[in-house]
């Protein structure tokens, strides 16, 4: 079963997950991080900035989950720009070691395969940070995505485009297509850490954690993973039937286990 950790705030989640990442890098300075974009992971990146101190990050490698197709990489809302702004620059990571799927139209047919190869060549992702969409997507694997899928081009649902319109001037400016790690790609990461905050995510979180494993709710793929940690605030945890059990389990968890 996935481990669910219910925290008082997004900031508290950030501190908890950042500590896990710091511990990972202390164990292996060449750790490979799977990086999500969107609003959800921002408290993690902020807490990481505060926690890294003099830790040597020069060996750390990163792979973003997804990118819009056809967006200019220099557009402030391209995921290349977001990862550069929120992760690479503030943490001082080596930009050459942090990849984002290539969403340019030229070569898009083989961009997915290239990305899969790069992840494999890096030895796979050690810790994958995930958010979840209101429609249950992880990465940009929209409902119906195969659990065996690898990095490929997908069409965003209208719901996802509407959700992401806040980053653009209007919903019409949100690209229609994306290139995303597949559910199969995500499931290969050694540790999944899915975060969700706010009442708008409660249904998707409950479906992902406690609902049937179904491609209709791609986030439910986490139930197939041997080491998945779900970190949610009270509002996002509101629909979880076993919330009290999750609290009890976490309160009594041996400290040596980490997240």
What are the tokens at 166? Answer: 């806040």
Q: Is 121 one of the annotated active-site residues of the chain?
A: no
Q: Which residue in 125, 185, 194, 189 sits closest to 154, CA to CA?
A: 185
Q: Which is nearer to ligand F6R, 79 or 246 (CB)?
A: 79
Q: Find how far residue 63's CA is from the centre of its chain.
A: 10
Catalytic choice (86, 135, 163, 239): 135
Partners of 43 in the β-ladder: none
The residue with its CB nearest to ligand F6R is 131
Write the CB contacts of 124 (distance below 8 Å, at least 6 apart in sequence). 32, 188, 189, 190
Least distance to ligand F6R, CB of residue 5, Å? 17
How far is 238 from 77, CA to CA, in rounded Å? 31
Sole binder of ligand F6R in the list 103, 136, 139, 182 (CB under 6 A): 139
CA separation (Å) from 174 to 76, 178, 195? 12, 10, 23
Residues 54-93 that bind ligand F6R (CB under 6 A): 65-66
Least distance to ligand F6R, CB of residue 159, Å? 10
Catalytic choice (67, 86, 126, 137): 137
Contact flag: residue 135 with ligand F6R (CB under 6 A): no
Sole binder of ligand F6R in the list 80, 99, 137, 152 (CB under 6 A): 137
Least distance to ligand F6R, CB of residue 245, Å? 26
How far is 58 from 26, CA to CA, in rounded Å? 12
Write the CB contacts of 185 (distance below 8 Å, at least 6 apart in sequence). 116, 119, 139, 149, 150, 151
Sole binder of ligand F6R in the list 88, 125, 138, 228 (CB under 6 A): 138
Q: Is 239 one of the annotated active-site residues of the chain?
A: no
How far is 181 from 161, CA to CA, in rounded Å? 18
H or E stretch at 212: none
Helix (H, G, I), strand (E, B) or coil at 204: helix
Encode 12-21: b = buried (16+ Cβ within 10 Å), e = exposed: bbbbbbbebb
Catalytic choice (142, 163, 233, 239): 142
Least distance to ligand F6R, CB of residue 192, Å? 12
Please count the residues of this chain forming the interface with ligand F6R, following the rule CB under 6 A.
14
- Are 197 and 161 in contact, with CB atoms under 8 Å apart? no
Q: Which is nearer to ligand F6R, 6 or 64 (CB)?
A: 64
Sole binder of ligand F6R in the list 31, 40, 185, 220 (CB under 6 A): 40
Q: Is 163 one of the annotated active-site residues of the chain?
A: no
Least distance to ligand F6R, CB of residue 132, Å? 6
Q: Which is nearer to ligand F6R, 67 or 126 (CB)?
A: 67
Q: Is 244 one of the annotated active-site residues of the chain?
A: no
Active site residues: 66, 135, 137, 142
The residues of the shown chain that bind ligand F6R, judged by CB under 6 A, are 36-40, 65-66, 131-133, 137-140
């Amino acid at each position: 079963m996935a481990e669910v950790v219910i925290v008082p705030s997004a900031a508290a989640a950030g501190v908890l997950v950042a500590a896990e990442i710091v511990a990972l890098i202390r164990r292996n300075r060449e750790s490979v991080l799977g990086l999500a974009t969107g609003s959800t992971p921002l408290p993690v990146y902020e807490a990481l900035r505060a926690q890294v101190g003099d830790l040597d990050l020069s060996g750390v490698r990163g792979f973003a989950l997804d990118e819009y197709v056809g967006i200019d990489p220099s557009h402030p809302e391209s995921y290349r720009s977001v990862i550069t702004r929120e992760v690479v620059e503030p943490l001082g990571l080596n930009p050459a070691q942090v990849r984002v799927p290539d969403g340019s139209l030229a070569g898009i047919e083989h961009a997915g395969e290239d990305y899969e190869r790069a992840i494999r060549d890096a030895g796979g992702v050690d810790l994958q940070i995930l958010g979840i969409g209101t429609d249950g997507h992880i990465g940009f694997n929209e409902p119906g995505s195969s659990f065996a899928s690898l990095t490929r081009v997908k069409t965003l649902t209208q719901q996802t485009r509407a959700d992401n319109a806040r980053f653009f001037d209007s919903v019409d400016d949100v690209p229609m297509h994306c290139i995303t790690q597949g559910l199969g790609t995500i499931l290969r990461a050694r540790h999944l850490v899915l975060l969700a905050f706010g009442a708008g995510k409660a249904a998707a979180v409950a479906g992902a954690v406690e609902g049937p494993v179904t491609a209709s709710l791609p986030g439910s793929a986490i139930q197939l993973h041997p080491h998945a940690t779900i970190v949610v605030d009270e509002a996002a945890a509101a629909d979880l039937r076993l919330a009290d059990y999750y609290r009890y389990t976490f309160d009594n968890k041996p400290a040596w286990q980490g997240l």
